[in-house]
Copies of this chain bind each other. A is one copy, B any other.
């Protein structure tokens, strides 16, 4: 036996958790068992098939986008008007701060802004070419960062996206992103 059933199943749960895009075939290969075994496992564990998982996620994010009223949304949600503007909210948790002083590491604010700048552009493969950013003031544990992004220049495959992140009415981060639609 390669791995006990229980072992495999708990590994499986985790795998799907951290990458819901996996097909049974891929997991089967990873676990060195047949595809049927994986399917039996999914049945037992009540894990739906990949397409259902994705559909579920899509639904979730879709609903969220629909019902976005900035003050009630907590977490990592984004509202998007493709090629125009978007909003994302990030609440600073333990994971985001320097232990020593409870101040958010800059790259989390950057990540929020960068993700948003990329998400806003309506194309398959969008990458950041360059950015100029400013951390206006430190952000502390527990603060809720609301990033507003706006496309300010649109060329066939290049976009300039400005992002401003605020905590309440306090500007904390400012960035100008030059993103492009890549051909891959």
User: What residues of chain A have their CB less than 8 Å away from a CB belonging to chain B?
Assistant: 19-21, 51, 53-69, 74-78, 88, 90, 94-96, 98-101, 103, 105-108, 110-112, 114-115, 118-119, 124-125, 127-135, 138, 182, 184
Distance A21 CA – B151 CA, assembled complex (angstroms): 27
Q: Closest B residue to A78 by CB, please name it.
A: B64
Task: Jot down 5 A-B pairs with beta carbons below 8 A, ordered by A.
Answer: A57-B61, A61-B61, A68-B112, A107-B111, A132-B132
Q: Is the interface of A mostly helix, strand, loop or mixed?
A: mixed
With A94-B19, A130-B133, A135-B129 given, is the CB distance from A115 to B61 under 8 Å?
Answer: no
The CA of A131 and the CA of B33, in the complex, are separated in Å by: 47
Which B residues lie within 8 Å of A110 (CB)? 107, 110-111, 114
Looking across the interface, which residue of chain B has its beta carbon closest to that of A102? B184
- Docked Cα-Cα span, A184 to B107, in Å, equals 20
Do residues A119 and B60 form an inter-chain contact, with CB atoms below 8 A?
yes
A126 to B: closest C-beta gap in Å? 9
Evaluate contact between A107 and B100: CB separation under 8 angstroms. no
Q: Is the CB of A64 within 8 A of B51?
A: no
Known A58-B58, A63-B119, A68-B96; further 16 A-B contacts with Cβ < 8 A: A53-B58, A56-B124, A57-B58, A60-B61, A63-B115, A64-B77, A65-B115, A68-B95, A68-B111, A103-B127, A106-B114, A106-B127, A110-B110, A130-B133, A131-B133, A132-B133
- Known interface pairs A106-B128, A135-B127. Does A67 touch B20 (Cβ–Cβ under 8 Å)? no
Which residues of chain B are near A67, meaning CB under 8 Å? 111, 115
